[in-house]
Amino acid sequence: MKKGQIIEGVIERVDFPNKGIIRTEDGRQVIVKNTIPGQKVSASINKIRKGKAEGRLLEVLEKSPLEGDKTGCVHAGECGGCTYQTLPYDRQLEMKAEQGKLIYPRQIKRELGAKIIYDAICPVASKAFYGFNPYEKENYGNMVAEDIGNSYGRCNQIADASIEIEKKIKELSEKELQDEKVIIDILRKCFKDKEDIASMAEGDNLEMLVEKVMELIREVYM
């Protein structure tokens, strides 16, 4: 993808403030403003940074199933307003409410990595490597210390895994966020090449990890 490239795609969702999201065939997200979910649009790429891109809306190729037969204001293109004018009024209110729900999670999403470490990965690591399950109080006495070298290596790999998991989760659509199979696949890939902690993405450890990560996703994004 490069600046000036023309792309076509269907608007997957609209985030606050009025940022339509297209997902390309290679998995990239492209922001196209002044769009409605379900519209097929063409856009010209004008910004590319850190794996994300922004495009300028060129044309609505196909209307969204959400849009009615209502004809928009003839001045809308010139004044730049009334993006949702072709939607029924009740649907306009729903869309604005949905965008409002996303403001808070988007503001705190930078904290997701820390939450993954402290609320999911570290508790599972405690159980996997020390026989200590922080979710079962009777097991507190079973924790054993390991040598500093192993602990240091594991901590580094846990931090790396958390960053990778956080990045991949942020790129998911709302539908994908609710799909446990997608989350399992992400966790397996992020732990696969980390020898000291790879066992965390296996068996009971993986089951517990998935449960905790799904809880965090519901807390932050839903």
DSSP-assigned states of every residue in 194-217? -TTTGGGGSHHHHHHHHHHHHHHH
Nearest C-alpha neighbor of 22 from the set 4, 34, 37: 37
Tell me which residue range forms the domain holding 209.
Answer: 108-221
Q: Does 136 map to a domain?
A: yes
The answer to whether residue 208 sits within a structural domain is yes
If asked whether residues 213 and 112 sit together in one domain, one would say yes
Q: Give the domain-ending residue among 36, 53, 87.
A: 87
69 within some domain: yes
In this structure, the answer to whether residues 166 and 75 fall within a common structural domain is: no
d(CA 206, CA 22): 31
Instruction: Assess if residue 123 is contained within a domain.
Output: yes
Q: What is the pLDDT along the chain (222 residues), one digit of tens a residue?
A: 788 889 899 999 887 667 889 988 777 889 998 888 898 999 999 988 776 789 999 998 998 888 776 655 555 555 445 666 777 777 776 766 665 554 444 444 445 666 777 778 877 887 777 665 555 544 434 433 343 345 557 777 888 888 888 888 888 888 888 899 999 999 999 988 888 888 888 888 899 899 988 888 887 766
Contacts of 110 (CB under 8 A, 6+ apart): none
Domain end residue (candidates: 55, 87, 119) = 87
Measured between alpha carbons, how far is 62 from 10 in angstroms, rounded to an integer?
A: 9
- Whether 125 and 211 share a structural domain: yes
Please give the tally of structural domains in the chain: 2
- On whether both 82 and 134 belong to a single domain, the answer is no
In a domain, 177, yes or no: yes
Mark whether 126 and 174 lie in a shared domain.
Answer: yes
